[in-house]
Amino acid sequence: MIESSQDLLGRVAVVTGSAQGIGKATVLKLASCGARVAINDLPETTRAQVVAEEIQKHGGEAMLALADVSDSQAVEAAIRSVARKWGRIDILVNNVGIHQDSFVLNMPDAAWQKVIETNLAGVFYCSRQVLGYMLEQRYGRIINISSVAGIIGNVRRANYSASKGGIIAFTKSLAQEVGSRNNTLNAIAPGLITTEPTAFLPQEEKNAIMAGLAIKRFGTPEDIAEMVAFLAGPGAGYITSQVIRIDGGFA
C-alpha cells in the first residue's frame, strides 16, 4: 500500500478503470487515506476483485462497482449499488481511457465512436449519476483524468486526443454549474506514464519523449494518484476548474 494518512476518513470514492494502472494506484492511495472505495472496471474482469482483496487485507473498505462506462444504464446501476451500501458518494475519479490508433484518413467510424463513447461519454454518464448525491450533500470532488494529448494533440490518436480535450472542456463547464454547492471539478493531464498501454510504444518514440522531459524519467501511476488524493482532500476545497499537467516538464 502507498503511504497512508486519514485525510479522507469516512469519504466514499468511486474510481473508474481501477483494476490496473493509474486507477489501481488511485484506489490504493484513497483507501490508504481512509476512504471507502468502489472499484470499477469491465464486468468480465477478474483483476478488480484482486484489488479489492488487497485493500481489505490492509484494513480498508472496498467493493466492486463493475460496469462498462460507455453504457449509461450500467453506470446508473453501479453507482446506485455504491450509494445503497455506503449511503453517500463524495469522490468520483473518471479514469477510464482507451485508444484505438490510426491516422484520420484510415480511421474507421467504429474506432472514433468507441474511443469517444468510452473516454468522453463515460465521464458524462458517471458524473451525471453521482451529482445528485454530491449536490444534496453540498460536498463533492470530481477528478477527471485527461492527458497532455488533450492539450497538444497526438499523431495517430486524433480520437483519443479529442476525447481527452473534451474532458477538459467538460470539467471547466461543470465546475461552473456546481461550484455554489461546494462541489469541485478538476482535470489531471498526465504525460507518458509507465502503464500497460505505454509499454508497447516503439523505443524510438519513448526516446524522443524522454529527450523532451525536464525530469529524466517517465511518470508512474503513483505520481498521478498522489495528486488525485490531494484534489480529493480537505486542502483542495478552493481549487476548481483547473487542468494540472503531470508530465515531467514535457516541452
What b-and-e string marks burial along 25-52, b requiring 16 or more CB atoms within 10 Å of the CB? bbbbbbbbbbbbbbbbbeeebeebeebb
Closest CA to 231 of 49, 77, 7: 7
DSSP string, 73-114: HHHHHHHHHHHHHHS---EEEE-------B-GGG--HHHHHH
- Please check whether residue 201 is in contact with residue 1, taking contact to mean a CB–CB distance below 8 angstroms: no
Q: Which of 133, 139, 160, 238 is catalytic?
A: 160
Radius of gyration, alpha carbons of the chain: 17
- Known catalytic residue: 133? no
Q: Which of 123, 44, 130 lies closest to 80 in space, CA to CA? A: 130
Gap between the Cα atoms of 168 and 186, Å rounded = 8
Q: Residue 8: phi, psi to the nearest 5?
A: -115, 20
Question: Active-site residues: which are they?
Answer: 160
